[in-house]
């Protein structure tokens, strides 16, 4: 498997690189990203072959078919981390909620969010590569709430790896913040910044492309990589659960093999949706990928109008904070797939310099052929949470946005798979408000209230957060990020 660049080659970077090289250095020429040169066609035979396979067997065969340059023993070790999920035999249960709607629950791992699906194995793979090369790596992560805890969990105490995680101070739920600031491994540094997620992500991208920062690291004999979904090491693991979820519907006799489905994804940085897009390109029978947003609905506008317009826009804090993002990095990989590297470079440079680009009518039609989109405001989301709870299903605010998109974008005769990206425990005050109208409840009070109402336990890894000491207390201006990182190192 070889990788090429979304904005073309600058004559300095190699024209093609391997999977392991793309993991270690995720930023390509002109600030672009790496994408597969080609993808295999899996066909119905691959799906049929795995109709009765476990998640790990499916994952191993897909990674082998893709031809990644990682030793089989390392892949086995990485995939073995799924054994630590709630149900080792099925880490991603798929639950019927409405007649034509099924929820794929991606949050049954150690940090109770879908980022565990990719970051748990990714941590093993990257650390293994670093050890094999005898190199020390600094891994940067910027988080809107879920990537950070998952990255810290997978990399803590791993050899040859140090991690710096940037999060927007005040821009995550209390549980998400506690998951980060109570981490005490010596190879981890958590930094709150005075700003929003886009500020954190922009700082990450700037540092990844900064010659002076890399030189400062080189003086310390440290190389640089990232755990965000700009890193294809994340994306490759996010293709697997889309295939698994489809097979679960076949196993449940909800669909027949080869029947098309909708993939309904709550989208922030677009990595989850991109995993579905690559699964479709490899042969998964998909009618369309439905993109659900909150009030930060830049993706809805892009797909429905062909315009990516951030002029005068600021991130709006919402009840689904992991999606409080305006610059969705992985859209660039879709642009490249549809329009090629020259057009992608032109569009992305326009976004970076003018905070705006517009697709042509033909380009917009190409985008709409594969994607549909709608957005859900906080009040609507709480309505869906209450409606689902009364019908016997407990879900978080991000999942709720998908129910609005399902109502607005899906043809009901076609089955829809909604991707639930976080457990209810991560956003309990919002859910408690939706269910009972209570406001300003502390997370622990809301957790206990919901657990009693739903007759469900609070997982130990969540309940235990409230008695752990806070050891990561840095909150700084975004201009001081580089100095803070170098001080940590």
Q: What is the residue-wise DSSP string for 149-165?
A: HHHHHHHTT-TTEEEEE
Q: Which of 300, 297, 306 is nearest to 372 (CA)?
A: 300
Question: CA-CA distance, 76 to 249, in Å (whole number)?
Answer: 26
Q: Which of 316, 265, 273, 310 is nearest to 295 (CA)?
A: 316
Q: What is the residue-wise DSSP string for 420-439?
A: E-B-GGGGHHHHHHHHH---
Q: Which of 172, 174, 182 is nearest to 147 (CA)?
A: 172
Question: CA-CA distance, 196 to 438, in Å (whole number)?
Answer: 27
Q: Which of 156, 140, 154 is nearest to 222 (CA)?
A: 140
Question: CA-CA distance, 146 to 176, in Å (whole number)?
Answer: 7
Q: Convert the pLDDT of each residue in 107-166 to its tens digit.
A: 999 999 999 999 999 999 999 999 999 999 999 999 988 899 999 999 999 999 999 999
Res 282 pLDDT > 90: yes
Q: Convert the pLDDT of each residue in 161-201 to its tens digit.
A: 999 999 999 999 899 999 999 999 999 999 999 999 889 98
Conformational region of residue 469, where left means phi above 0, alpha means psi within -120 to 50, and beta covers everything else: beta
Q: Convert the pLDDT of each residue in 409-423 to its tens digit.
A: 999 899 999 999 999
CB 424 within 8 A of CB 173: no
Do β-strands 34-36 and 2-5 pair in parallel, antiparallel, or remain unpaired?
Answer: antiparallel
Per DSSP, 458 falls in state P
Q: How many residues would you count in the chain?
A: 489
Res 23 pLDDT > 90: yes
Q: Which two tokens stand for residue 255?
A: 């669909």
Measure the CA dihedral 40/341/196/300, to 10°. Answer: -70
Question: CA-CA distance, 430 to 241, in Å (whole number)?
Answer: 27
- When pLDDT is averaged across residues 55-81 and rounded to a whole number, the result is 97
Quickly tell me which residue has 């089989």 as its tokens.
Answer: 72
* Terminal CA-CA length for the chain: 34
Q: Which of 237, 272, 245 is nearest to 261 (CA)?
A: 245
Rg, C-alpha atoms of the chain: 21
Question: CA-CA distance, 6 to 345, in Å (whole number)?
Answer: 7
Distance of CA 77 to the CA centre of its chain: 22
Quickly tell me which residue has 């035999």 as its tokens.
Answer: 89
Which pLDDT value is given to residue 338? 98
Which pLDDT value is given to residue 441? 77
Which pLDDT value is given to residue 356? 97
Q: What's the whole-number average pLDDT of the chain?
A: 95
CB 468 within 8 A of CB 435: no
Q: Which two tokens stand for residue 428?
A: 């309990």
Question: CA-CA distance, 170 to 172, in Å (whole number)?
Answer: 6
Q: Convert the pLDDT of each residue in 206-259 to its tens digit.
A: 998 899 999 999 999 999 999 988 999 999 999 999 999 999 999 999 999 999
Question: CA-CA distance, 123 to 10, in Å (whole number)?
Answer: 30
CB 81 within 8 A of CB 153: no
Which pLDDT value is given to residue 461? 94
% of residues, the chain, pLDDT over 90: 93
CB 482 within 8 A of CB 207: yes
- When pLDDT is averaged across residues 23-43 and rounded to a whole number, the result is 95
């Amino acid at each position: 498997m070889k990788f090429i660049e979304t904005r073309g080659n600058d004559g300095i970077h190699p024209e093609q690189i391997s999977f392991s090289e793309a993991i270690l250095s995720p930023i390509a020429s002109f600030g672009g990203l790496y994408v597969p040169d080609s993808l295999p066609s899996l066909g119905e035979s691959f799906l049929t072959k795995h109709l009765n396979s476990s998640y790990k067997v499916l994952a191993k065969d897909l990674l082998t078919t893709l031809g990644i340059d990682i030793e089989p023993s390392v892949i086995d070790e990485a995939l073995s981390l799924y054994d630590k999920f709630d149900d080792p035999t099925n880490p991603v249960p798929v639950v019927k909620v409405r007649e034509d709607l099924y929820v794929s629950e991606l949050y049954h791992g150690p940090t109770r969010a879908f980022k565990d699906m990719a970051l748990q194995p990714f941590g093993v793979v990257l650390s293994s590569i670093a050890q094999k090369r005898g190199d020390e790596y600094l891994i940067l992560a910027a988080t809107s709430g879920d990537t950070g805890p998952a990255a810290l969990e997978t990399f803590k105490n791993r050899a040859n790896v140090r991690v710096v995680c940037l999060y927007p101070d005040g821009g995550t739920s209390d549980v998400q913040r506690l998951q980060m600031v109570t981490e005490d491994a010596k190879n981890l540094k958590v930094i709150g910044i005075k700003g929003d997620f886009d500020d954190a992500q922009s700082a990450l991208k700037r540092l990844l492309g900064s010659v002076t920062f890399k030189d400062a690291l080189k003086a310390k004999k440290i190389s640089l990589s990232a755990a965000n979904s700009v890193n294809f090491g994340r994306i490759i693991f996010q293709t697997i659960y889309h295939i698994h979820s489809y097979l679960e519907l076949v196993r449940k006799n909800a669909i027949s093999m080869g029947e098309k489905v909708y993939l309904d994804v709550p989208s922030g940085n677009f990595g989850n949706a991109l995993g579905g897009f690559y699964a479709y390109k490899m042969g998964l029978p998909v009618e369309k990928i439905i993109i659900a947003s909150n009030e930060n609905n830049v993706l809805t506008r892009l797909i429905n109008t062909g315009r990516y317009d951030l002029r005068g826009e600021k991130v709006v804090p919402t009840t689904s904070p992991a999606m409080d993002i305006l610059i969705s990095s992985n859209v660039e990989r879709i642009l490249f797939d549809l329009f090629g590297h020259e057009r992608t470079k032109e569009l992305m440079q326009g976004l970076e310099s003018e905070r705006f680009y517009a697709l042509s009518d033909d380009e917009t039609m190409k985008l709409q052929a594969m994607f549909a989109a709608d957005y859900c405001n906080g009040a609507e989301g709480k309505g869906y949470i209450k409606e689902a709870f009364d019908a016997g299903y407990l879900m978080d605010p991000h999942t709720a946005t998908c129910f609005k998109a399902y109502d607005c974008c899906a043809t009901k005769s076609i089955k829809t798979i909604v991707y639930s990206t976080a457990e209810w425990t991560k956003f309990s005050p919002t859910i408690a408000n939706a269910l009972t109208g209570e406001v300003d409840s502390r997370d622990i009070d809301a957790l206990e209230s919901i657990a009693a109402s739903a007759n469900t336990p609070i997982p130990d890894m969540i309940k235990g957060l409230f008695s752990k000491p806070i050891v990561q207390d840095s909150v700084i201006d975004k201009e001081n990020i580089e100095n803070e990182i170098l001080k940590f190192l």
